[in-house]
Amino acid sequence: MTQGLSVGRLIRTSVSISPLAAQRRGFGTLLIAGDSDVISPAERLRTYTTLESVAGDFGTTAPEYYAAQLYFGQTPRPAQCQIGRWVTSATGAELLCGTLTAAEQQIANWTSITTGSFSIAVGGAAAVDVTGIDLSAETNLNGVASEINAALTTATVAASCEWTGSRFIFTTTATGAAAEISFLGAAATGTDISAQLKGTSATGLPPVNGFDVETPVEATAAFVDASAVWFGYMFAASTMPGEAQVLAVAGFIEGLDLERVYGVTVTDTRVLDATFTTDMASQLSDLGYLRTFTQYSQNAYAVASFMGRAFSVNFNANKSTITMMYKQEPGVVAAYLTETQAQTLKAKRCNVFVNYINDTAIVQYGVMSGPAYFDEIHGLSWFKDALQNAEYNLLYQSKTKIPQTDAGQNQLISIAAGVCAEAVNNGLVAPGQWNSDGFGQLERGDFLKTGFYIFSTPMALQDQSIRETRTAPPIQIALKLAGAIQELDLLVSVNR
């Protein structure tokens, strides 16, 4: 077909699409560290959005389930949690074969095999042929795994095979970091089933060496490396970390660049005694940690409920921020305290779910171990992340450079103002009097009518050596936190 000339030779058009903005981090996910033998150390953690899915993996009697039950039992309900594997017993090396489709799981695919074989290497030794696998009498894939185990024993291979319901897993008998395992390969004789098992390099997951026993801090560091999603952290294990280990984890959490918070339930009743000063709440309070909080309760997982309520906050919504004072903890039995005991917990900065004489029960105090409230740390962590990502996206998505001029600096300031306005919208920040040292045109005692003030020195005052590094002048932000009313005095005058 005869065609005319392309319009493009006269009207040259170029279309470009901006890259997707970097996403803000979430601040509504709890990571529960447990020691149940459910999640592989190589997998490290899983994400759950319902209690049913937790029960499907862990059953209804595991510590991880009990913590998740309290977490998801809150109203409003948090969206998700993660559960991580804390290695408290050395594990063997693992080969996770590929997931089998429903069609591949049909037993008819396996019963025709009477001389099955494959090769495998463990402990860094040469590969060994595993032969004589007769599957003709099997009725399910658990039986297939049993026949493979018998053949492994005959071949003196120190490993075992398990069918998980979706894949086969090979695990070495030897444990610890020195334990090794290989992909499956074809043996010299027999009917090769390595590909059917999906254990070859083309179908299986990369083999993982065994794991040594981890301290709680080592496990926490592994979770930090594994995921940036979680913000809250707690342990729910058959044997909980000891006092020294709790302090070590709290110190680690305190120093992280990517901010998190650590919850510790104190079950020791000596925390109620003012004369006893070496309980966990007292020690953490003495250290002034701002990213660890404690709660006294006889339920060892009570902090899961505390964080479940806190993590239901949507920072994108209007007037959505909360104080943890006066909140409920479904599933946790409220404590009965004397006035002296309540004051002791307050002095030790230890939260508690407590009964009042008016037939109500509330979370009391809502504080961190250090001099801050939980909602302040939670909200400011969100603000820091939102501010960083907003400025990053301005630089990342700009089709041209942001000039190192006052006009360019004003773009950065405008972005910061937008995030500050979000903080006003969700209730973290509010108008009020500035009662600290000032900067720019802000003086102590000034009223911040917007709830924030932003200042940056003019570009002309920037030192040349700093300018040559293409670094913007500092942007200083004053935020007036909205705070929260938690107590009040009522003065009543009566005239007769």
Read off the pLDDT of residues 57-83 as tens digits, 9 standing for 90 and up: 999 999 999 999 999 999 999 999 999
The candidate with the shortest Cα–Cα distance to 68, out of 43, 48, 39, 88, is 48
Reduced to 3 states (helix: H, G, I; strand: E, B; else coil), residue 270 is helix
- Asked if the model's pLDDT at residue 414 lies above 70, the reply is yes
Q: Which of 360, 375, 390 is the last residue of a domain?
A: 375
Contact criterion met (CB below 8 Å) for 199 and 185: no
Mean pLDDT of all residues in 160-171: 96
Mean pLDDT of all residues in 86-100: 96
- Residues 270, 132: one domain? no
- Residues 129, 110: one domain? yes
Q: Kindly state the tokens that stand for 35.
A: 């020691």
Contact criterion met (CB below 8 Å) for 212 and 177: yes
> What is the rounded CA–CA span in Å between residue 133 and residue 118?
9
The candidate with the shortest Cα–Cα distance to 451, out of 418, 421, 426, is 421
The candidate with the shortest Cα–Cα distance to 310, out of 297, 298, 293, 287, is 293
Q: How buried is residue 134: exposed, middle or buried, by Cβ count under 10 Å (0-12/13-18/19+)?
A: middle
Q: Which of 344, 375, 406 is the last residue of a domain?
A: 375
Reduced to 3 states (helix: H, G, I; strand: E, B; else coil), residue 210 is coil
Residue 340: the pLDDT is: 98
- Residues 457, 470: one domain? yes
- Residues 222, 328: one domain? yes
Reduced to 3 states (helix: H, G, I; strand: E, B; else coil), residue 361 is strand
- Asked if the model's pLDDT at residue 20 lies above 90, the reply is no
**Domain enclosing residue 130, as ranges:** 92-192
Tell me which of 11-25, 345-359, 403-417, 468-482 is least confident: 11-25
When the pLDDT of each residue in the chain is averaged and rounded to a whole number, the result is 96
- Residues 188, 231: one domain? no
Contact criterion met (CB below 8 Å) for 495 and 442: no
- Residues 465, 341: one domain? no
Residue type, 496: R
Reduced to 3 states (helix: H, G, I; strand: E, B; else coil), residue 264 is strand
> What is the rounded CA–CA span in Å between residue 401 and residue 124?
53
- Residues 77, 96: one domain? no
Quick check: is 107 in a domain? yes
Nearest-Å Rg of the Cα atoms of the chain is: 30
Quick check: is 283 in a domain? yes
- Residues 96, 111: one domain? yes
Considering its fold, how many domains does the chain have in total? 3
Residue 18: the pLDDT is: 80
**Count of H-run helices and E-run strands, the chain:** 11, 18
The candidate with the shortest Cα–Cα distance to 246, out of 275, 213, 219, 269, is 219
pLDDT band at 9 (very low <50, low <70, confident <90, very high): confident
Strand ranges across the sheet with 191-192 = 128-133, 116-120, 191-192
- Residues 302, 340: one domain? yes
Residue 1: the pLDDT is: 59
User: Tokens 């305290």 map to which residue?
Assistant: 337
Q: What is the DSSP letter of 364?
A: E
> What is the rounded CA–CA span in Å between residue 367 and residue 349?
6
- Residues 268, 355: one domain? yes
Quick check: is 262 in a domain? yes
The 3-class secondary structure across 434-491, one letter per residue, is CCCCCCCCCCCCCEECCCEEEEECCHHHCCHHHHCCCCCCCEEEEECECCCCCCCCCC
State percent of the chain over pLDDT 70. 100
Mean pLDDT of all residues in 336-364: 98
Quick check: is 304 in a domain? yes
Quick check: is 225 in a domain? yes
State percent of the chain over pLDDT 90. 94
> What is the rounded CA–CA span in Å between residue 178 and residue 171?
13
Mean pLDDT of all residues in 209-213: 96
CA distances in angstroms from 167 to 140, 258, 313, 488, listed in the order given: 13, 35, 38, 61
Torsion of CA 339, 73, 224, 216, to 10 degrees: 60
Question: 208 versus 21: which is more confidently predicted?
Answer: 208
- Asked if the model's pLDDT at residue 424 lies above 70, the reply is yes
- Asked if the model's pLDDT at residue 326 lies above 80, the reply is yes
- Residues 187, 218: one domain? no
Quick check: is 206 in a domain? no
pLDDT band at 5 (very low <50, low <70, confident <90, very high): confident
pLDDT tens digits, 351-370: 999 999 999 999 999 999 99
Question: 1 versus 419: which is more confidently predicted?
Answer: 419
Quick check: is 385 in a domain? no
Q: What is the DSSP letter of 219?
A: H
The candidate with the shortest Cα–Cα distance to 390, out of 319, 462, 469, 477, is 477
Q: What are phi and psi of 19, to 5 degrees?
A: -65, 150
> What is the rounded CA–CA span in Å between residue 423 and residue 387?
10
Residue 6: the pLDDT is: 85
Quick check: is 419 in a domain? yes
CA dihedral for 116, 120, 122, 126, sign (positive or negative): positive
- Residues 186, 308: one domain? no
The candidate with the shortest Cα–Cα distance to 368, out of 291, 296, 445, is 291
